[in-house]
Amino acid sequence: MDGRDWKKFLLPYEQTVEELKVKFKTLRGELKSREEYSPIEFVTGRVKRISSIFEKAKRLNVPMEKIETGIEDIAGIRIMCQFVEDIGRLAELIRAREDMTLVYEKDYITNKKPSGYRSYHMIVEYPVQTALGMKRVLAEIQLRTLAMNFWATIEHSLNYKYREELPAPVVNRLSKAAEAAYLLDQEMSSIRVEIMEAQQLFEDNSNIVNRVLNGIQELYFFHRVREAAQFQMRFNELWDTNDTWLLRELSDQISDAISRAKKNSL
């Protein structure tokens, strides 16, 4: 077995995972601000354990001295999407990035694995700045829907338990579950517009409520106690009605009151 310091060996991979997580979470926030919708639901990442690296190297006949190029998923990022259509959009965004180089892609959604596994894999080369200088690290980015991820997580746990030799009844039930997850994704895609509209309505309501409450607090800051109290009472009346139009109107009224308060304070 290779006698290298494996803890130090993994440092660039750990740094790569942390940096990529931050970048994709930032991308999610920016897309929501610019387009009011992001194909990214949430982002996770991990670095393979040394034992898992050894097992995979043995399975693929990768020599220890070639692990850095032979094992492409030591650094792994997983990005969850709501809809299958989001995966294609996100893949386009990743291809267009200049802070990483796409090595190749594997489409296990169009071409599922025999087990039923579906996911979209992108192998990228990421330049990470370490204490010893710049190092190019291979990382695997997996794009999945929530349903795909649920199934894959269960399959991974069962494969670990049975050491990749699943009993036939378990394989059969997993295959049926994979098809059920696929049908769920198809059904969600068929009502995608309705789901997105409902989510946007919720987001709009949440933003309006935040503006109203923050505005009331700002009026207190300008010592406009009477106005603030009146607006608070009006908000309490409207809260139970869930009337977005009236809440937006109240928000505009509060904004006007704040503008007047600022002018009077000059």
The residues carrying an active-site annotation are 140
> Residue 233 in 3-state DSSP?
helix
By DSSP bridging, strand 120-130 and strand 42-47 are unpaired
Strand intervals (E) in 91-159: 101-107, 120-130, 133-145
Q: Give the separation between CA 212 and CA 219, rounded to whole angstroms.
A: 11
Q: Cα 253 to chain center, whole Å?
A: 37
Q: Give the separation between CA 195 and CA 174, rounded to whole angstroms.
A: 28
Task: List, edge to edge, every strand of the sheet that includes 75-81.
Answer: 42-47, 75-81, 133-145, 120-130, 101-107
How large is the greatest C-alpha to C-alpha distance in the chain, in angstroms?
79
If 0-12 CB within 10 Å is exposed, 13-18 middle and 19+ buried, where does residue 51 land?
exposed
Q: Which amino acid is at 192?
A: R
Task: Quote the Cα angle for 240-244-246, to 5°.
Answer: 85
